Chains A and B, each alone.
Chain A
Amino acid sequence: MNNILNLSTSELSTLIREKKLTSEELVSQTLSHIKAHDSKINSFITLLEDSALNQAKEFDKKNSKNESANKFLNGIPILLKDNISTKNIRTTAGSKILENYIPPYDAFVTKKIIENGGIIIGKGNLDEFAMGSSNETSFFGNVKNPWDVTRVPGGSSGGPAAAVAAGFVSCSIGSDTGGSIRQPASLCGVTGMKPTYGTVSRYGLIAFASSLDQIGPFAKSAVDCGEILDIISGKDPNDSTSFEKKFTSYNGLLNEDITGKKIGIPKEYLKNVDPETVNVLRESIKEFEKMGAEIIDVSLPLTEYAMDVYYIIAPSEASSNLSRFDGVKYGHRSESDYNSQASLIDSRNEGFGDEVKRRIMIGTYTLSAGYYDAYYKKAQKIRTLIIKEFKDVFKKVDVLLTPTSPSIAFKINEKTNDPIKMYQSDLCTIPVNIAGLPAISFPGGKSNNMPVGIQIIGPQNGDQTVLQFANKFQEKTEWHKDSPSL
């Protein structure tokens, strides 16, 4: 791989600012690299070749005359998951039903990235409507893991994660409903963060489960994730669950050391996890101990119920959110010419894939008369208990350290016939969404030549602390600098 394409976003940003690298050169090299290798990986649904090059040239012109303001993403290519709306650029959510949908407006996060000088180089592949843990449910074909193309990249943000791992981009944007940023970050050996619920506006994000969905960055380091969060966070009147920035900088605690800080290891997160992954976690614990952190064993007994709570709440919200896809105003409309009711059903039948249908059915069931109290309301009550359990544990420790995924990247088709097995890929990430917490996954080691991610979870609005711990680990280790050869 070319040298420039191995650099982190911070490094590229500095080179461009100091005029040692032009955006045009970076974008050209990026495009050739993508064109040479993405046929193996399939991380892009849409590649924006011409517009990216034009924007790069325009930026360079301004920069050479010192007319451009000093911004982190100036001239840097970035990939957006294809469930994030981009004005006049097709946005599919990985579904046939939106195969030809061209949003007439930008998502909040898209606008923020453009304002910061970022160059949107394409739209990243994903599981259909972000429903999946392996990127195998995408209408546009599955994404392959750049470390081993016979394996999955994780999901649902498989494209954005694989693209960073493959050196196609130095950073990308994903969304995380039950682990959809962190699990693929773990399986692809990159850093990915889901901030506290409400940090980044969901305006323009094609909704899956609104009380769980949160947008966040992928990059080659925790520092870069923090920089990107500074750009995309903040109150948006178009998303009433978003809030004003809590800090001047997400990286505000990076220089403070973690001596004497307490790291909790929840024992429930080690159950059902491969021994090799547990070994990587144990090694990372040693690193943190060397830095002076205190390790405390803790217990979160409700963890074992989190997956079932999630598979009630998320499909319930999805069944409601996806009712908008009726083939009337936009999206796929069936050719069948019956009447409006039959056309509606045919459009949805033809437009949605199996996993999406399965989840709509689960959600409709759990919300239906006679079952609402037993399932949905019960799940929301247990959610209250899970939130409290986390609150209590964070009185004792500063952060939690866990595996991100129970295993390394699994083989393509290994779990496609068993939805429950597939759902269990997110055992360690789901509880975080249920409680709206910030968490980051970053490479902690290798097993079988595949990357293994570890996860730091913080209390609500403890995003700075989460980044601080991940950064300390990355200052002392080299795992995050490792990249696959394509």
Chain B
Amino acid sequence: MKNNWATAAFVILLAVVPTVAFSGYHLFQLTMVVVYAVAILGMAILVGFNGQISLGSGAFYAIGAYTTAILMTTFDVPYWATLPVAGIVCAGFGFLIGLPALRLAGHHLALTTFALAVAVPQVLKYKLFEDWTGGVQGLVIDKPDPPFGLPLTSDQWLYLFSLGVAVLMYVLAWNLVRGRIGRAMRAIRDHATAAEAMGINLAMVKTRTFAVSAMYTGIAGSIGAIVVAFVAPDSFSIFLSITLFVGLCAGGAASIPGTIVGAIFIEFVPNFAEQVSKAAPGAIYGVILIAMLFLMPMGAGGFLARLWRQSFGSRGRSAGDARPAALGHDTSVPVDLTGSLARADRMPVGRGEGVKP
């Protein structure tokens, strides 16, 4: 109970303080943090909790963004109504991608989704679709005004709107991961063969996870498009996917609170990096990423999650946190990066040789 009150208070704080304290660019940055958080949450569901390594989240982000843009510019659909549509469209694409992904794992899946992400800008620029997508120039979107004549600026309203959607998405994700399907997802991640033997329908869970993940990232893309008020193919290059991936790793892959840390990381660190060296923000990005993987296998998010639990106590194990799980411990808790992802993907060396224990 204490947990819920604390969380609610925290959310209210999140809503009020920035709206009052910041404006203009800073509020925009915070809004983008919210957007990225939802996108990374989508990735966490697929990669962290279900073990399907996808480097193509940028593709779904782009699809969501363009769906919103096209609906708003060509069909005059109100901005808030585009979100569910984008969500459904992306879920559909996610499911479609999830089907061939059933036969792939590990590096091969990463590679295929990597290729998908690289191909997206090309498809968006394709002449055949230019009437819809605006080609290389992209599309400009009108920034929405606050509804009901509320005394807020556009930026303030967008921040609150994004926050509201995000809170809803987070609650849904939390319930999903803690429930039966969440356990099935994690079982598949930890040991697919055993999960199947226990009666879990691999194909169904995996494709649907892909769909849900795509939906999350797509909705994030939608909001992102509205906030930035502009979509263009080159904004959705492979570097977007890589950035989101970095955010995921920074947060600890299988940690819901960690996604927020990851989002903060990818929104602010490049700015910080640019101050250190104007021409090499990517390098510092990469260095920090690698340093994190070496030094903090649980990601900063996992580390903070432990802190949270220690401060507020725990009602048993909480599904949303990443903790180190030694072999033999309860693996229904999502294990950290140094856990069962290794075992599931590692094939025994030596074919046809009777290697005895």
A binds B: no
Interface residues of A, Cβ cutoff 8 Å to B: none
